[in-house]
Amino acid sequence: MLRLKVNIDDVARMRFARAPAPLMEVYAGVRVWKATRRAGRVGGTGVQRAIDRFPSSARPLLDVIPSTGPGPTFLAPIEPDLPAALGNVRAALRRGAGSELGPALRDGRSSEWLRALAAGRPGAADRLVRALESCFVACLLPHWSGVLAAFDAEAARFGETLLHHGAASAIDRLSPLMRWRAGAVEVRGAADAEITPGGGGLVLLPLAYWDGDPLVRGLPDGTVLVAYAVPEPRPRTPAPAPAGGDDEDALAGLVGQTRAGILRALPVPCGTSELAVRIGMSVSVTSEHAKILRRAGLITSVRHGRHVRHALTSLGRTIAAP
């Protein structure tokens, strides 16, 4: 059993992650899928539906993400912006994170590209980043609106429990494998250890495509991440809103359902990849709709190097206002 010995500052700084983390979900989904195949079981509905779309370009992930035991943490940053998260993976490899691949190299089946990745060679890092991105886009992006909905529902549930019953009850209700006992958060199923955050606080992250024990690790800013399986039901892709009738969305009737979603998803400017995540569409489809909105004077798109950043214009803010 793992014990997180928290103090009053840790409780005061306990918080939810800002949003779901794309690469954490990729890591969790691939790991669950591998574990269920290894055990000869059928994977959970959400995971199986997602991994059914697994592209060949993502196959390198099968070499680096284990089905059991400790895995390389640099593959799963909690950054909610996909391009930034992929940049974090590259930066970690430049700092020598390839040393975390030791267990994969020792299993006797390591490939030349895996040895190159552990050595920090740029070409191998490029292949890994492409694998992570293609896995997210092909497997998880089509269901991302469901992931966002599940995350928001879990955050609301935690907040309500915290408000009405206090921190101990809120922790107890996160997962059947976690409980508050005598100034510590006990995580059953995890390896025996004791961690003292020392006032840095806890960051809570529900995972839609995880079904194992809570994952606990320290973060560079001194906080401790506690990632856990979101309670059932698993996220599902919402059915499209019915068209017509008195309840029809006026904004969607004006600019279309997808473009209305883009306008409502841009209270905070972001890049095309993150915008695609926010609305649950592919990057290419999002880019085409953004082009139409830009021509209509509803958004601006400014290029920064290889990335384009989108923002609402004053007119866009006016018509998107609830």
The pLDDT, as a whole number, for residue 249 is: 57
Q: List Cβ neighbours of 60 (8 Å cut-off, separation of 6 or more).
A: 113, 127, 128, 131
The pLDDT, as a whole number, for residue 110 is: 63
The pLDDT, as a whole number, for residue 51 is: 61
DSSP bridge pairs for 226: 204, 216
Q: List Cβ neighbours of 35 (8 Å cut-off, separation of 6 or more).
A: 67, 68, 212
The pLDDT, as a whole number, for residue 164 is: 92
- Are 165 and 221 in contact by the 8 Å Cβ rule? The answer is no
The pLDDT, as a whole number, for residue 38 is: 67
Domains of the chain: 2-19+145-229 (no CATH), 22-140 (no CATH), 250-320 (1.10.10.10)
DSSP bridge pairs for 39: none
Task: Classify each residue of 161-180 as buried b or exposed e, where b means 16 or more C-beta atoms within 10 Å of its C-beta.
Answer: bbeeeebbebbbbbbebbbb
The pLDDT, as a whole number, for residue 285 is: 82
List the pLDDT tens digit at each of the 322 positions of the chain.
899 998 899 889 999 998 899 999 999 999 888 887 766 555 455 565 566 677 888 889 988 998 887 789 999 999 988 888 899 999 999 999 888 888 777 765 667 888 888 888 889 999 999 999 888 888 887 778 778 888 888 988 999 999 999 999 999 998 888 999 888 999 987 778 888 888 888 999 999 988 888 999 888 888 999 999 987 544 443 333 334 443 345 677 667 788 888 998 998 888 888 898 888 888 888 888 888 888 878 899 988 777 889 999 887 887 777 6
Element (H, E) at 310: strand 307-312
DSSP bridge pairs for 179: 186
Cα separation, 151 vs 261, in Å, equals 18
The pLDDT, as a whole number, for residue 316 is: 82
The pLDDT, as a whole number, for residue 238 is: 37
Element (H, E) at 132: helix 122-135
Look-up: residue for tokens 């035991």? 69
The pLDDT, as a whole number, for residue 147 is: 84
Q: What is the pTM of this model?
A: 0.70
68-88 pLDDT, tens digit each:
877 899 999 999 888 888 999
Backbone angles phi, psi at 185, to 5 degrees: -95, 115
Look-up: residue for tokens 């840095």? 200
Let me know the angle formed at the C-alpha of 177 by 33 and 153, rounded to the nearest 5 degrees: 75
Closest CA to 111 of 96, 100, 97, 101: 101
Look-up: residue for tokens 């001194």? 222
The pLDDT, as a whole number, for residue 288 is: 84
41-57 pLDDT, tens digit each:
554 555 655 666 778 88
Is the peptide bond prior to 233 cis by the omega test (within 30 degrees of 0)?
A: yes
